[in-house]
Amino acid sequence: MASFNASRQQSREFLLDNGFPTNKDEGWRFTNIQPIVNQEYDYGFHPPSNPFKKNLLLSDAYQININSGGYNNLDQFSEFTLTSGCTIERLVSSENNSTVKALFSTIVPAHQNAFTALNTALFQDGLIFIVPDNIRLDKPVHFHLENEIANHPTNINFRFLIILGKNSKCTIVLSNEGVGESSFSNFVTEIKLSDNSQLDYHVIQFGGENDHQITNTGISLEDNARVHAQYFSTGGKTIRNDLTVNLSGQGAECDIRGLILGKNNGLIDNHSLINHIAPNCTSNEIFKGVLTDTSHGVFDGLVTVFPNAQLTSANQKNQTLLLSKDATTNSNPRLQINADNVKCSHGSTTGELDMDAVFYLQSRGISEEMAKFMLIQGFALEILDSISNESVKKILQQAIEKYLIDIKRTGS
């Protein structure tokens, strides 16, 4: 693997040669990145204007806070290591680590797209998190980034390298609270799951009105590894998530779920690629959206079944609820099957509230306003059913309720 400096230089050259995508590029047809690339940013960590707002701090978790001034609680690293048996290291001080050399920019290639190249060229720091063989953590590990710089549009490029050893198990929460003026966070996360490991992985995004968040995540699963990944996105001017899952080992399983709550004129765009590479693997994917005002939601998902991936089971579904005549959605679930002994399905539905269901609830003495509230809430909450950690579920339930109250108050 090239050194960090060599990778940075190669990524700069890639950006100079290729530039940023436009709406003419197939994968970016509905993602307008001009508000991002036309803004001038301060780069790097700066002291925050305010302390952590703690909107997304879990009640029972190993907490690692990162703000626009850098690491908020580095002193907790050693305490966490002693308590959990795991390892956390800063990326910039680990360039000679053999594990980093072997995996850096392999699960998410540096030149996968312009934003992975931008991250590789400019990343200020990152974290390496390793769960050793046979370690099963008793509570979630929560990495929380809050980006707030008053009057300073700021770009932060940050990386995570997460490795689970054989027979290990843990829950990881990566949350991003962008509340700054035109802040832009650009994350790259690479995750390797060894044989028989299990990961619950939650990405929680609360965007400020002019906030931009882009993530590129790659997850590689070996024999009988399992991942449950959950994406929750609300607010923001632009949120774009690209997820690639490689089911490389026999018997690997992934369950991918997402919920977007769009409002104002924000864009929330989820792109996924699930590669069934080995035989006898299972993938289930469902993304839901609730959109109001002039918000725009995008789901683009591709499941690829490789020739050797016999006995594949793959299901993909996207459902969107439009609460405003000016809200829009684009859905593109796809299957590419190159094996014959498989069971695959995909589907997409978009619609408004079921007024028959509203009328039914009204006939039971419930007001029209409350009936609509209950139906929207039920639609959204269903995506949280598979979350086993009550602390994570509670935060997301509260976020859904706040979203519904906000749109009720503004008359959306």
Task: Report DSSP letters for 337-361, one per residue.
Answer: E--SSEEEEEEEEEE---HHHHHHH
Instruction: Supply the pLDDT for residue 381.
Output: 92
User: Distance between CA atoms of 214 and 276, rounded to whole angstroms?
Assistant: 25
Over its C-alpha atoms, the chain yields an Rg (Å, rounded) of: 21
Distance of alpha carbon 247 from the chain centroid: 18
Query: Which two three-digit tokens encode residue 167?
Result: 């027979």
Domain boundaries, the chain: 4-352
Instruction: Supply the pLDDT for residue 80.
Output: 66
Pairing between β-strand 70-71 and β-strand 212-221 as defined by DSSP bridges: unpaired
Instruction: Supply the pLDDT for residue 179.
Output: 61
Query: Which two three-digit tokens encode residue 55?
Result: 């909107």
The pLDDT profile of the chain, 412 residues, written as one tens digit per residue, is: 457 888 899 999 999 999 999 999 999 999 989 889 888 877 655 554 444 445 566 778 888 877 655 554 555 566 666 567 888 888 888 877 888 888 889 999 999 999 999 999 999 888 999 999 999 998 899 998 876 555 677 888 999 999 999 999 999 999 988 765 678 899 999 999 999 999 999 999 998 888 899 999 999 999 999 999 999 999 889 999 999 999 999 999 999 999 999 999 999 999 999 999 999 999 999 999 999 999 999 999 999 999 999 999 999 999 999 999 999 999 999 999 999 999 999 999 999 988 888 888 888 888 888 888 899 999 999 999 889 888 899 999 999 999 998 887 665 5
Instruction: Supply the pLDDT for residue 249.
Output: 98
pTM confidence score: 0.93
- State the CB neighbour count (10 A cutoff) for residue 296: 22
User: Distance between CA atoms of 216 and 208, rounded to whole angstroms?
Assistant: 20
DSSP β-bridge partners for residue 213 = 185, 239
User: Distance between CA atoms of 292 and 406, rounded to whole angstroms?
Assistant: 11
DSSP letter string, 85-145 = S-EEEEGGG-TT-HHHHHHTTTTTTTTSSHHHHHHHHH--EEEEEEE-TT-B-SS-EEEEE
DSSP state of 26: G
Diameter over CA atoms, the chain: 68
Instruction: Supply the pLDDT for residue 406.
Output: 84
Pairing between β-strand 154-164 and β-strand 328-337 as defined by DSSP bridges: unpaired
Q: How far is CA 375 from CA 76, 278, 369, 383, 406, in A?
A: 43, 40, 10, 14, 16
User: Distance between CA atoms of 355 and 361, rounded to whole angstroms?
Assistant: 10
